[in-house]
Amino acid sequence: MKAYIIQKYNKNKDLMSAEMPEPSMKENEVLVQVHAAGVNLLDSKIKSGEFKLILPYKFPFILGHDVAGLVVKVGAEVKKFKVGDEVYARPADFRIGTFAELIAINENDVAIKPTGLTMEEAASIPLVGLTAYQALIEKGNLKKGQKVFIQAGSGGVGTFAIQLAKHLGATVATTTSTSNFQLVKSLGADFLIDYKNEDFETILKDYDLVLHSQDAKTLEKSLRILKPGGKLISISGPPDPDFAAEITSSWFLKTILMLISFGVRKKAKQLKVNFVFLFMKAQGNQLNEITNLINSGVIRPVVDKVFPFEKVNDAMAYVESGRAKGKVVVKVQ
C-alpha cells in the first residue's frame, strides 16, 4: 500500500512516499480503508522530533492521527463493527499511521462516522474533537454560566472548542485576527480579541477556565486572568506530574518532565489557581458522544482546505504556516 513515512526526525525534510506492507491486525482491531486523513500540528511536531522522549517511535513509521474510512476487515474478537461500516477515529499513540491507504485500529478507539458528514469533514474531527472534549468536559468540568478563554479560536481545536463550550452554556472569549472575527462569532464566541493589536490580559478577568495552546509567555498571562480556584488546561505543555506518572518511562524522564513544569506550577499556586497539562488520548466512547453532537446539529466541522493524497507535504506545510482556519484534510481514496 502507498503511505507517507518518516525515516528519521527532521523538521525540514518532507515525508517520503513509500510502498508499505498491509498493516498486521490484532484480534481486537478493525482494518480501515482510509478515505481521508486530517493533518495536525502534532504531525509536524512528531516529524521534527519534539516528542521523541515521550513518544519514542521506531523508524520507519507512517505519520497521521485522524482518519475517516470504510471497515474492510474485522478481527476475531471485534464486536462493535462489521465490514462496510463507515467510521472515523484518532488511532492510539504507537498505532498511528493514517497517511496511508489502510490502517489497523483498536475497536475501542473507533466510532461510526456522523451521518451527515463527508469523509473529508469526518476526518477533520477526531483529534481536535477529543482534545476539546477532554479539556472542557473531562478535565475542565465546564458548567453553564462559567467563563472560558479559548486561545486561537480560528484554529482546529479552537473552532471545535468554542462550539462545545457554547453547548455547555459557557461564556466564551477567544483570540484571533480581525479577518477571522466573523468565523469565530458564527461559532458562538462572545468576546473577540485581536491578538495582533490587543492584550487579552488587560481585557479579561475572573475566568473559570482557560484552554491554553500557545507559548510560555501567553501561559503566564493566562494564569493571571483566572479567578481563585480557576483552572488552566494546557495542550502545548509543559508536562505536569500527573502526566509524568501516567506514561511508562524511566524515573529519570519522569523527573525531568516534572521539573520542566515546576515554575508554572509554582506560579499557579501563588495565584491560587490550577495548572493541568493535557495530552489527548484516543477514546472511541467519547467520539460517540461527539458523533451525537454533530448529528444533532450542535457542532459543525470547519474545514479550510482539502489536499490530494500526493500533496501530503503541501498540507503539512500549510498547517505549519499557522494560516489554516479550522482543519486541513488529505483525501486518500
Using the predicted structure, report yes or no on whether residue 139 has a pLDDT greater than 90. yes
Please tell me whether residues 268 and 319 are part of one structural domain. Answer: no
The span from the CA of 211 to the CA of 209, in Å, is 7
93, burial (CB in 10 Å: exposed 0-12, middle 13-18, buried 19+)? middle
What integer is the mean pLDDT of 144-172? Answer: 98
Q: Return the higher-pLDDT residue of 78 and 249.
A: 78
How many domains does one find in the chain?
2
CATH number for 106:
3.90.180.10
Residue where a domain stops, chosen among 277, 292, 311? 277
- 152 and 164: one domain? yes
Is the pTM of the predicted complex or chain greater than 0.85?
Answer: yes
- What digits encode the pLDDT tens for the residues 96-131? 999 999 999 999 999 999 999 999 999 999 999 999
Give CA–CA dist 102/32, Å, rounded.
6
- Is the model's pLDDT at 277 over the cut of 80? yes
Q: How much is the pLDDT for 331?
A: 98
> What's the pLDDT at 257?
84
Q: Which three cell numbers stand for residue 224?
A: 493571571
- pLDDT tens per residue, range 230-247: 999 999 989 988 888 887
* pLDDT at res. 53: 86
Q: Is 15 part of a structural domain of the chain?
A: yes
Predicted confidence at residue 244, as pLDDT, reads 82
- Predicted local distance difference test score (pLDDT) of residue 125: 98
If you average pLDDT over residues 265-279, what whole number do you get?
97
pLDDT in tens, 102-111: 999 999 999 9
Checking if the pLDDT of 248 tops 90, the result is: no
Q: Is residue 108 domain-shared with residue 229, that is, in the same domain?
A: no
* Per-residue pLDDT at 217 exceeds 90: yes
Regarding whether 272 and 206 lie in a shared domain, the answer is: yes
C-alpha cell at 331: 483525501
Mean pLDDT of all residues in the chain? 96
Same domain, 136 and 222: yes
Is 289 part of a structural domain of the chain? Answer: no
Alpha carbons 271 and 171: distance in angstroms, whole number: 22
151 & 272 share domain: yes
Q: What is the mean pLDDT of residues 63-73?
A: 98
The verdict on 133 and 165 lying in the same domain is: yes
Helical residues (DSSP H) of the chain, grouped into ranges: 41-47, 119-123, 126-133, 156-167, 181-187, 200-203, 216-224, 241-246, 251-260, 262-270, 284-295, 312-321
What is the per-residue pLDDT for 253?
A: 83
- CATH code, domain carrying 178: 3.40.50.720
Q: For residue 266, tell me if it sits in a domain.
A: yes
Domain that holds residue 76: 2-125+301-331
Same domain, 218 and 138: yes
Biggest distance spanned by C-alpha atoms of the chain: 58
Residues 21 and 107 in one domain: yes
Q: What is the pLDDT of residues 187-211, one digit of tens each?
A: 999 999 999 999 999 999 999 999 9
Q: Is residue 290 part of a domain?
A: no
11 inside domain: yes
Residues 6+ apart with CB under 8 A from 276: 139, 231, 232, 233, 234, 240, 242
Contact 44, 322 (CB under 8 A): no
- Confidence band (pLDDT; 50, 70, 90) for 223? very high
Contact 174, 193 (CB under 8 A): yes
Based on the domain organization, do 74 and 167 belong to the same domain? no
If asked whether residues 58 and 105 sit together in one domain, one would say yes
Would 27 be classed as within a structural domain?
A: yes
Q: What is the pLDDT at residue 151?
A: 98
Report pLDDT for 241: 85
Whether residue 172 is found in the same domain as residue 106: no
To which H or E segment does residue 232 belong?
A: strand 226-234
Share of the chain above pLDDT 70, in %: 99
